[in-house]
Amino acid sequence: MRKPSFVFLIVIGIVLVGQCIFAKNNESKIHIVQAGDSINRIASLYQILPWQLRQANGMGANETLLQPQQELIIPTIVWESYEGRASWYGPGFHGEKMANGQIYDQNKILVAHRILPLGLKVRVTNLKNSKSIVAYVLDRGPYTKKNGKYDREIDLSYAAAKALHAIQPGVISVRITPLQG
């Protein structure tokens, strides 16, 4: 069993669309693995990504085997704000299962993001009119591409798009601000 006694300070560059930083933390969090734990469940619990958990613990990219009572370092991740484009999704997905296992309700304020951890709270601000919403990342997307690259950062539920006045234009410029804690 590996007993970490050091602090990580690794700056990570742009991760596809957003930035995150492994922040220096004098009191590293430790998670004691319990029966039934998985890398994905633990990462979700601490609002980090599975690769960040693996990297902080010196695990290989595909390593998933955990032992009960194993100690895992939980890195402190600081997600940074950035700007991009947002679209919305509604009727075609209403009532369907989301990535987090819940049923999508287009009338609730929520968002989908390709990278940010499921369950992370974000503020999305329309850069044209300064209107903003606070929502949880509960789904994955958007996956539309232009010239082989993703051209949107975040998908808004119908209710979120309505609050931001994004229904009519369909795609808007936004600032995405992850909210810690």
How many structural domains compose the chain?
2
Cite the DSSP H helix spans in the chain.
Answer: 39-45, 50-56, 158-163
Domain end point (choices 35, 51, 79):
79
Residues 56 and 111 placed together within one structural domain of the fold: no
Whether residue 49 lies inside any domain: the answer is yes
Residues 75 and 110 placed together within one structural domain of the fold: no
Q: What is the pLDDT of residues 63-91, one digit of tens each?
A: 888 999 999 999 988 889 999 999 999 88
Domain end point (choices 53, 79, 105):
79
Strand boundaries in 33-140, DSSP class E: 71-74, 76-79, 82-89, 111-113, 121-126, 132-139
Residues 39 and 111 placed together within one structural domain of the fold: no
Residues 95 and 74 placed together within one structural domain of the fold: no
Whether residue 1 lies inside any domain: the answer is no
pLDDT at site 181: 59
> In 3-state terms, what secondary structure has residue 160?
helix
pLDDT at site 1: 36
CATH number where 24 lies? 3.10.350.10
Question: Residues 117, 43: contact at Cβ < 8 Å?
Answer: yes
CATH number where 134 lies? 2.40.40.10
pLDDT at site 11: 27
pLDDT band at 97 (very low <50, low <70, confident <90, very high): very high
Residues 73 and 100 placed together within one structural domain of the fold: no
Taking 50 as the threshold, does the pLDDT of residue 2 lie above it? Answer: no
Domain end point (choices 79, 99, 133):
79
pLDDT at site 5: 30
Residues 65 and 106 placed together within one structural domain of the fold: no
Q: What is the pLDDT of residues 29-67, one digit of tens each?
A: 999 999 999 999 999 889 899 999 999 999 998 888 899
Residues 75 and 112 placed together within one structural domain of the fold: no
Phi, psi of 55 (to 5 degrees): -65, -40
* pTM, entire model: 0.77
Residues 174 and 90 placed together within one structural domain of the fold: yes
Whether residue 107 lies inside any domain: the answer is yes
pLDDT at site 139: 95
Find the mean pLDDT for residues 156-167: 97
Whether residue 4 lies inside any domain: the answer is no
What value does the mean pLDDT of the chain take?
86
Residue 51 sits in which domain range? 11-79
Residues 40 and 111 placed together within one structural domain of the fold: no
Whether residue 158 lies inside any domain: the answer is yes
Whether residue 22 lies inside any domain: the answer is yes
